[in-house]
Structure 1
Amino acid sequence: MNSVMTEQFLDRILIQRASAEEANVQRLAIMVVMSAILIPPDWHFESVHKFKDKTSHYLFR
């Protein structure tokens, strides 16, 4: 699914939203869910741990 199709798909889902801000929040949430589904689980898990290691290194050194 290319980005134009994805945008149209998300716009169709969010077509009757009260505010643009709410629509942006929901679009972001849907993108996060879709990326979590599309990314292979082992890579996703590994990258999360690398990120946590880096942030804890910077925060607690």
Structure 2
Amino acid sequence: MAALLGARLTKHLQAVLECENVFLWSDSQITLHWLKSDKSKTLQRFVKNRVNEIHELTGSNQ
């Protein structure tokens, strides 16, 4: 949930501040694994929906 809130905040700040290069950081190994995983079908529905929204919001940001 923290990663999703960060992605939403980043999207808002990018629109307001007109900045392009944004880096999102997390120390949660599980969250980073979920975001990098290609096996989204094996994730639970709640996690899968959050991961998909994060990908939609962040696009090419790291």
Tell me if TM exceeds 0.5. Answer: no
- Normalising by structure 2, we get a TM-score of 0.25
**Whose RCO is larger (CA < 8 A, sep 6+)?**
2
Which structure's residues are more often helix, by fraction? 1
Q: Which has the larger radius of gyration?
A: 1
